[in-house]
């Protein structure tokens, strides 16, 4: 009986250790303070939540995840935690960006600064995370999709003269995944709340145009996978369509999927016929581009 109890205890300890090692790691995105911070409260300190896959599953790719929330909040469960776990299950490192937004007192450029820093940080720590620096993508939902579309159209090669080693690294994602994304501004199908939260009610036309990201696609834009639903009335599918049209115009490879069923904000959407396939379609695309095994 004593031996049996010891065996059970050993199993329990092993299981606990396995679960503990699978827990995500949360850390400050800007350890020395975020640029333009309004203060030093928690809302002024954007975070990274890093989901690392088991070592034997690790495929060497990473994705910076931007949850949605209209630039006024963050859907950290179904567009954050659940996505991190899904990516991990396929050997992909997930880096969830808890970025600044209007609900925390911030508009442009704070969200863009945060996602670019998240990409640079991930790339600068490629060896530590067991990933390849040329297989780092960005994925976003809704307004987080707008942020991801900004990341794939607004990037730089890094500042080689910077004293900060992270700032010396490129912020260009190697691929993008845009999920029922807000993309176009000042259009009949624009999500007005996201535009207002990001830019304010009286933004200059030049600024609005610069962040209407279908207008910012170039041949240097990385490959992108986009999906939307026909039934999305919150952020109509025209947002994804105009971005994909711009990709075609500039010969940027990628895929666009418009599923029939599903309201806005469905996340993985596993219970929705047809639409629930988007995650598998995305994985097939990533495998076809040899970004994951």
Which of helix, strand or coil describes residue 48?
strand
Domains of the chain: 23-288 (3.40.50.1820)
pLDDT for the residue numbered 22: 60
The label of the residue with tokens 């219970």 reads 271
Spans of the chain below 70 pLDDT? 1-22
pLDDT tens-place string over residues 34-74: 999 999 999 999 999 999 999 999 999 999 999 999 999 99
CB contact set of 155 (below 8 Å; sequence gap of 6+): 116, 119, 170, 171, 172, 173
Is the Cα dihedral 257, 258, 264, 270 positive or negative? Answer: negative
The 10 Å CB-count burial string (b at 16+, else e) for 179-205 is: bbbbbbbebeebbebbbbbbbeeebee
pLDDT for the residue numbered 156: 98
Helices (H), the chain: 2-21, 82-89, 110-124, 126-129, 143-151, 192-199, 205-210, 238-249, 278-288
Cα–Cα distance between 8 and 21 in angstroms, integer?
A: 20
pLDDT for the residue numbered 273: 96
Q: pTM, whole model, 2 decimals?
A: 0.92
Q: Which two tokens stand for residue 212?
A: 């209407």
């Amino acid at each position: 009986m004593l031996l049996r109890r010891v065996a059970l205890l050993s199993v329990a300890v092993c299981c606990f250790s396995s679960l503990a090692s699978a827990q995500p790691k949360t850390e400050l995105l800007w350890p020395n303070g975020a640029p333009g911070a309004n203060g030093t409260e928690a809302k002024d300190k954007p975070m990274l939540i890093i989901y690392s896959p088991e070592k034997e599953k690790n495929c060497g790719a990473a994705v910076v995840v931007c949850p949605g929330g209209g630039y006024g909040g963050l859907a950290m469960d179904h567009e954050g935690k659940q996505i991190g776990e899904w990516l991990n299950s396929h050997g992909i490192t997930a880096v969830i960006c808890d970025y600044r937004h209007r609900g925390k007192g911030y508009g442009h450029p704070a969200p863009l600064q945060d996602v670019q820093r998240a990409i640079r940080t991930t790339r600068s720590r490629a060896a530590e995370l067991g990933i390849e620096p040329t297989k780092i993508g960005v994925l976003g939902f809704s307004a987080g999709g707008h942020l991801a579309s900004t990341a794939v159209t607004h990037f730089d090669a890094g500042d080689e003269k910077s004293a900060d080693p992270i700032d010396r690294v490129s912020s260009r994602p190697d691929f993008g995944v845009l999920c029922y994304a807000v993309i176009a501004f000042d259009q009949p199908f624009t999500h007005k709340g996201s535009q207002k939260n990001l830019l304010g009610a009286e933004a200059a036309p030049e600024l609005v145009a610069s962040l209407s990201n279908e207008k910012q696609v170039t041949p240097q834009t990385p490959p992108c996978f986009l999906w939307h639903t026909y039934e999305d009335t919150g952020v109509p599918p025209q947002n994804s369509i105009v971005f994909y049209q711009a990709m075609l115009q500039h010969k940027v490879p990628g895929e666009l999927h418009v599923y029939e069923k599903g309201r806005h904000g469905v996340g993985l959407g596993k219970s929705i016929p047809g639409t629930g396939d988007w995650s598998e379609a995305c994985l097939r695309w990533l495998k076809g581009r040899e970004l994951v095994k």
